[in-house]
Structure 1
Amino acid sequence: MTFAAFSGRPPRRARAAVLALCASVLAVAACATAGGGGNDLVLGLAVPLTDGAGQPDVYGVRSRMGAQLAVDELNAGNLFGGRTLALRIVDDKGDPATAIAVADSLVQDRSVLAVVGHVYSGTTIQAAQKYQGHLPAVATSATSPEISKLGEWIFRVASSDSANAVALARAANGMGRRIAVLYSNDDYGQGLARNFASALRAAGGGVAAMDPFLDDTDDFRPYLRRMQSRGVDLVFVAGLQDPAARAIAQAQEVGLAARFLGGDGIEGLAAMGARYDGTAVGVLFHGQMSDSARAFVQRYRARYKEDPDSQAALAYDAVRLLARALQQGHRDPASIRGWLEGVGAREGGSPAFEGVAGSVAFDQNGDPVNKRFTLGVIRGGGIVLPEAGR
């Protein structure tokens, strides 16, 4: 997932979802919080709590909620030899330039041992230059293939779009004959679209049209009418939920009889109304994907009175992963980085980390190996997995 610079319309947010989040923002307090006392073990949490218009950012707020739940559960277990785990929370606003500044502030804070974040690919890519050689960072939902090249101090708990695109292309081949791509003109959209098109060709398919957009694009009708004239019956959206919502609504207006498919960036469409039913979505987490996921949903729901999404689950996992290093006595950034490098290694490492969003074992690029990515369908205000309940 990534972010395109703000220009006019508040991007990335389903309007109804933002209104619902206001209570959650109050529940998890202010936008920037320092770590606790001198006895704390401090992790940085770099997330977009607000967007370019100063409004709550859905992805960042829920990431914070998942991270805080993990911290509270861990502290309740007294797992750190009498010390307490704390978060130093910084708001990167989903903006790459701001991400550099907040990353620098975390590096300069000697109490911070490691970082959970960032959420978007663009902010992760820019912040990495500050973390390199200083602080290990575990990105949550950042999926751009470029993150694999950022160096030995950057890890992530979400699978790369170079892998996710293969699953999405496989699904697309079974859903449509003539396939078009709409992609956000940023790190996330470009990378996902490029890998999707490549995987589709490798599987014997092809792309009938490929068009870029910006997050504040209002009118998709010219693209959609051209697709209609070309007989497109499946549209793949490599972008986020707000522009995808506009594209789908306008496709219905112009009479384009095509299904829509997208990656994890459009997960939020499930909460935006019945008109998005039937849209297929690749998800990084689902509450029915495992017993541990189901148990997490129950705990999260009891705490926040709502269901978790991928952002909440991945932030939860990233905190618990770093806490595992702390529990095993790794209490400085270099030692934590070395421990992360060995998670799931066949020789000389530690066992894979079993998170609520799946197992994490890192390859030489800090990417999780064979991380689960599955396809669901929006139906009745939720995302239904074909294999749910197995």
Structure 2
Amino acid sequence: MKTFAMYCGSIVLLVSILLVGCSKQPDAYKIGVITPLTGSRATYGAATKQGVDLAFERINKAGGIDGKKVEAIYEDSRGEPKDAGYALQKLINVDRVPVILGAFRSAETQAIAGTAESRKVVLFSASSTADEIKYVGDYIFRNVPTNSDQGKTAAHFVLEYLQKKTAAVLYQNDDYGKSLGEAFIENFSNIGGKILAQETFEGGQKDFRHALTKIKQMRPEVVFFPGNYEECALILKQARQLGIQVPFVGGDGAYSPDLFGIAGSAANGSYYTLMAMGYGVSDEEVANFLDGFKKAYGGEPDVYAAYAYDAILVIADAIKRGGYTSDGIKDALYKLEFKGVTGITKFDSYGEVSKPYYLYEAKDGKFALVTWVPTGSVTATR
């Protein structure tokens, strides 16, 4: 009888614990973050983490969200789709977060977006630009425009600013490089430019002389070469060694301080498209971000720190509006209009934004913003 009573008491205690556990609200709102913290793309992950941490600091200093602190749960993707998949599963199944910032590369985001959609967890990328991400589903968002927009900007830049009418295209053979290369080819051809050569390269490739020699023989006035900074830096170095002195124009994937460490002076005179700060739209937010970054880390931020910073503030705004659930966050994201360091963030029915791309020139170990107003644009690239 005593044993039976103890058994019943244990059951009551267990049920009580479970009920308390079910009713207890989280002490903090946790947001998952998938980014490359190690591996060859760790530079990008470090910038992302700086932006995320700075945003969390700002939110928590202001009292958090409805009195609750926000915290990040970081998972290392190493810049690889497979590792991004492991990170997603952990954040969903173990940490049970309703929203995740990530991934960094388009290939990573494309690899995990379908799972996030099927599990009804909000996935918000601050850097993946491949067009195909647009069509995955209702729980997928990003605060950067597509490669179609980026390729169009690059095409107009080459023809209007650089005054070049012939181009060769050398793109990285993955979702990012291919979609950006094809967007450039289509738009450059449509506005009167001529494509003289089209070559590809693989991620991790070290020798580009074969493709560059073929390009040199066609004598283009400019080379468009979307890819990651490691490969693009080697391309620049080998191109100059082969005597190719025409301008090279790349995408946001090559925008990294590490480009100069590999390419050295060969990077001078190359250009890169990327979404930058919201100049002329949210100058006060930009100034506050730059000041806060300098105090926290010293120096000036990488643009990817700005992207991540803005993304976290947008997510936090959605949590405040819709509550700490995937559906609440999703519904709030579609309705909000947020003024941040990258301008106005407002999502269409696909979870996409419309923001301008800017051009940066690599010069003496730094990236300098180029002054240029695209045809038909009301936003200056300066």
Q: Which residue identity does 2:319 align to in structure 1? A: L
Name 1:339's counterpart in structure 2: 332
CA distances 1:165-220 after superposition (whole Å, capped 9, x unpaired)? 11111012232232011111111001101111111111122211111101222222
In the TM superposition, 1:80-95 aligns within 5 A as: 80-95=65-80
Other-structure match for 1:27:
none
Matched, 1:277 2:268: yes
Of 113, 125, 139, the match for 1:139: 125
Note if 1:232 corresponds to 2:225. Answer: no
Q: CA deviation at 1:286?
A: 4.7
Q: Which amino acid aligns with 2:233?
A: A
**What's the CA shift for 1:110?**
5.7
Contact 1:44 1:87 in 2 (8 A): yes
Q: 1-side partners of 2:365 and 2:278: how far apart?
A: 14
Render the CA deviation track for 1:354-375: whole Å, top value 9, x for unaligned: 1212221111211102x12111
- Root-mean-square deviation (CA), in Å? 2.1
Greater relative contact order, per chain length (Cα 8 Å cut-off, separation 6+)? 1
Q: Give the whole-Å Cα distance in 2 for the aligned partners of 1:297 and 1:245.
A: 27
Letter aligned with residue 125 of structure 1: Q
- The 3 A distance-change label for structure 1 pair 265 and 363 is same
CA deviation after TM superposition for structure 1 residue 39, in Å: 0.4
Aligned-partner Cα distance in 2 for 1:144–1:120: 9
Aligned length: 342
TM alignment of 1:49-128, pairs within 5 A: 49-51=37-39, 57-109=42-94, 111-128=96-113
| Deviating 4+ runs (over 4 angstroms) | 286-290
1:328 is paired with a residue whose SS is helix
CA distance in 2: counterparts of 1:250 and 1:389, whole angstroms: 30
* Local SS of the residue matching 1:134: coil
1:348-363 equivalent positions in 2, closer than 5 A:
352-363=337-348
Separation of aligned partners in 2, 1:254 and 1:380: 21
Give the superposition deviation at 1:288: 6.5
Question: Do residues 257 (structure 1) and 235 (structure 2) align?
Answer: no
Give the Å deviation of 1:318: 0.9
- Contact kept? 1:287, 1:297, Cα under 8 Å: no
Using structure 2 for the length normalisation, give the TM-score.
0.84
The one-letter amino acid of 2:152's match is: V
Q: Which deviations, in whole Å up to 9, do the C-alpha atoms of 1:219-262 show, x marking residues without a partner?
A: 22222222222111201011011111111111111111211101
TM-score, normalising length from structure 1? 0.83
Unaligned runs of at least 5 residues, structure 1: 1-36, 344-351
Letter in 1 for 2:171: Y
Larger Rg computed on CA atoms: 2
Higher helix proportion (structure 1 or 2):
2
Contact 2:122 2:330 in 1 (8 A): yes
Aligned with 1:115: secondary structure? strand
Check the 8 A contact 1:286/1:309 in 2, yes or no: no
Query: CA offset at residue 139 of structure 1?
Result: 0.4
SS of the residue 1:162 aligns to: helix
- Aligned identity (percent) is 28
Moved more, 271-280 or 165-174: 271-280
Report the equivalent of 2:146.
Answer: 160
Q: Distance in 2 between matches of 1:282 and 1:61?
A: 21
Equivalent in the alignment of 1:375: 359
Q: Which amino acid aligns with 2:190?
A: A
The letter of the residue matching 1:122 is A
Q: Is 2:254–2:272's contact at 8 Å kept on the other side of the alignment?
A: yes
> Shift in Å at residue 143 of structure 1?
0.3
Alpha-carbon deviation of 1:154?
A: 0.3
C-alpha distance in structure 2 between counterparts of 1:286 and 1:260, whole Å? 23
